[in-house]
């Protein structure tokens, strides 16, 4: 997509591939249509990386108070519905104060993958970062949670 002050390219691989493809398109457009483009004209890249992954670590059970609330809500809902209902964390997100800058940046989020059983441990994450950094932060987060769990036990 081409906007007044923004070019958007979406791929199903990585932000690195997207950036390379965008550069190729701009060079092609220079030759084919005579558009004005040269290296360095793009002053800033904005990223949105979307990943689906599995984890054996309970990524959304971050706080004992939240786990306690989920247990209590599950018990009450089981009473109300007269069938076993188990609530667990669905999503976790980090974001910035949207009033702190002119244009908002996407949040960093982790959520259970839609239409996947909780037991599958399938997650979806979105981050306003290059894909390789996004993956690295998720791996570090998973390792930190794994270490915290082993300390508890």
Give residue limits of the domains in the chain.
1-45, 46-152
Question: How high is the pLDDT of residue 99?
Answer: 92
Question: How high is the pLDDT of residue 4?
Answer: 80
Question: How high is the pLDDT of residue 81?
Answer: 97
**pLDDT for 102-112, tens place per residue?**
888 999 999 99
89 pairs with which residues across the strands?
A: none
Q: Distance (Å, rounded) from C-alpha 111 to C-alpha 90? A: 6
CB 129 within 8 A of CB 49: yes
Question: How high is the pLDDT of residue 103?
Answer: 85
Question: How high is the pLDDT of residue 153?
Answer: 65
Ranges of residues in the chain whose predicted pLDDT is under 70: 153
User: 15-33 and 131-152 helices cross at what angle (nearest 10)?
Assistant: 170
Nearest to 46 by CA among 111, 114, 125, 130: 130
Question: How high is the pLDDT of residue 57?
Answer: 92
DSSP assignment of 76-119, as one string? Answer: HHHHHHTS-------EEEE---GGGSSS--PPEEEEEPTTS-GG
DSSP state of 75: H
């Amino acid at each position: 997509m081409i906007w007044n002050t923004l070019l958007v390219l979406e791929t199903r691989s990585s932000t690195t591939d997207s950036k390379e493809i965008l550069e190729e398109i701009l060079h092609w457009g220079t030759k084919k249509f005579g558009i004005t483009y040269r290296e360095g004209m793009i002053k800033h890249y904005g990223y949105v990386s979307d990943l689906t992954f599995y984890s054996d670590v309970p990524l959304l059970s971050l706080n004992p108070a939240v786990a306690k609330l989920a247990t209590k809500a599950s018990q009450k809902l089981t009473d109300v519905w007269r069938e076993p209902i188990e609530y667990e964390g669905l999503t976790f997100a980090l974001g910035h104060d949207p009033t702190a800058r002119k244009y908002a940046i996407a949040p960093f989020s982790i959520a259970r993958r839609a239409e996947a059983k909780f037991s599958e441990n399938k997650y979806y994450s979105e981050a306003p970062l290059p894909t390789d950094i996004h993956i690295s932060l998720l791996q570090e987060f998973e390792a930190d949670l794994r270490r915290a769990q082993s300390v508890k036990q």
